[in-house]
Structure 1
Amino acid sequence: MEARRLVTALVVAVSLTGAVSGCALVPRPVETRLPPGAPAASAPASPTATPAPSQSASPSPLTTGASPSVPDGTVSCGDGQAQSLSGSEQTFTVVGTCTELMVSGSALTVDATDATIGTLRLSGDRLSVTAAAVDTLTVQGNDDSVTSADAMSSVDVSGDRATIQADGAIAAVVVRGQDNIVQSGLGVGSATVEGRGNQIR
């Protein structure tokens, strides 16, 4: 009898255990239901990158206007520069205010009627210069010619057959050579002459 009761108790216990485990709560997914007419929650907006401030281009440096161009074959002294010309059988045009103009070579023709020249130096043969004004003139060579539309402070000639003419006065003249002519429209102050056939007037 005792053994039967024990078996019966075990059977009842096993049955109760199965029933309890069968009634255990099984988790279910949670559903959220909104009331009718309620707007659905919008998904969070993805962050937008803030554009970096654009760097304004730095202003380009102002370009200064180019100096006025001169025609081909024209030499400009600007306002107080020195220039040098050399060559053979060529023609030049000089403009501006020249502190000094040096001309060397042979058979050169220089038109400086639009230039004023502080010191004009000629070195060579058959050089010809016509200028608006020449203050100081030095000539070394033969058969050279200089014409100035203004007065001259001094003329120094070393060579033969040079012709120097100034519309204004010439303060001082020095001539060494032969058959040179120095002529002034308003007279010559002082003259030192060495050689034959020279004319100072």
Structure 2
Amino acid sequence: MHRRLLALSGAVALTTLLAGCIFVGAPRSAESRPPSIPDGQVAQTTAPSATETPLPPPPVASSPSDAVALDCGDGGSQLVSGADQSFLVTGTCVELTVTGSELAVDASAAGVGALRITGDRIRVHIAGADEVRVEGDDGEVTSAAGIARIEIVGDRTTTEAVTGIPSVTVRGHDNVVRSGGGVGSAVVSGSGNTIR
């Protein structure tokens, strides 16, 4: 009887030991396989589509077909006003006045004598001008030629002319005036302004 108990406890101990070996083994690594795709279907990729953008796009002017067309005629004046709109100006403008906010004005095909801008976030493209005056913040004026005289009253406006700007007056902060043909006399008050 004693031997039978000893044999039985030996069998229990051996079973426990073997059971422990099964659970003590190292875990298997999971295999990573692509999911199976049924015939006739295309796998979806994780790349963003053309319509998705990780950052909000910068503001851009609407195409000319979306823009409101205005004509100065031959030597007239034109007033452009509104908010969050695009305009296309043609003709020969003795004076072009732009007032409002979030405006995009393409006057690159117009002749402009004096350009007067009042408002915030206004972008104007011109072929050239005798005089440009900007009152407001976060504006942009680009000229395909020169600007004889420019005055900026406000903050964070950028003005660029391909050829020279003989006279510059700036009253405000963080404005930029750039010219491929150089800048003449400059009167600047405020901090962070760049004139070159």
Give the TM interval when normalised to the shorter protein.
Answer: 0.5 to 0.7
Give 1:111 shift. Answer: 0.7
Give 1:133 shift. Answer: 1.4
Cross-structure match for 2:171: 176
Cross-structure match for 1:107: 102
Choose 1 or 2 for highest CA Rg. 1
Give 1:132 shift. Answer: 1.1
Residue identity matched to 1:86: S
Residue identity matched to 1:169: G
Q: Deviations over 1:43-87 (max 9, x none)?
A: xxxxxxxxxxxxxxxxxxxxxxxxxxxx87210111100000110
Give 1:96 shift. Answer: 0.9
Give distance in 2, aligned partners of 1:146 and 1:162: 8
Give distance in 2, aligned partners of 1:108 and 1:153: 24
Residue identity matched to 2:146: A
In structure 2, stretches of 5+ residues that fail to align are 1-64
What secondary structure sits across from 1:114 in the alignment?
Answer: coil
Give 1:110 shift. Answer: 0.2
Give distance in 1, aligned partners of 2:155 and 2:68: 29
Give distance in 2, aligned partners of 1:135 and 1:171: 10
Asked if 1:135 corresponds to 2:105, the answer is no
How many aligned positions are there? 131
What secondary structure sits across from 2:110 in the alignment?
Answer: strand
What secondary structure sits across from 2:127 in the alignment?
Answer: strand
What secondary structure sits across from 2:145 in the alignment?
Answer: coil
Cross-structure match for 2:40: none
Cross-structure match for 2:154: 159
Q: Deviations over 1:15-40 (max 9, x none)?
A: xxxxxxxxxxxxxxxxxxxxxxxxxx
Which residue, out of 171, 192, 195, partners 1:197? 192
Cross-structure match for 2:72: 77
Give distance in 1, aligned partners of 2:151 and 2:81: 20
Give distance in 2, aligned partners of 1:137 and 1:124: 14
Residue identity matched to 1:82: S
Give distance in 2, aligned partners of 1:167 and 1:97: 20
Give distance in 2, aligned partners of 1:165 and 1:94: 19
TM-score (norm 2): 0.65
Cross-structure match for 1:10: none
Residue identity matched to 1:92: F
In structure 1, stretches of 5+ residues that fail to align are 1-70
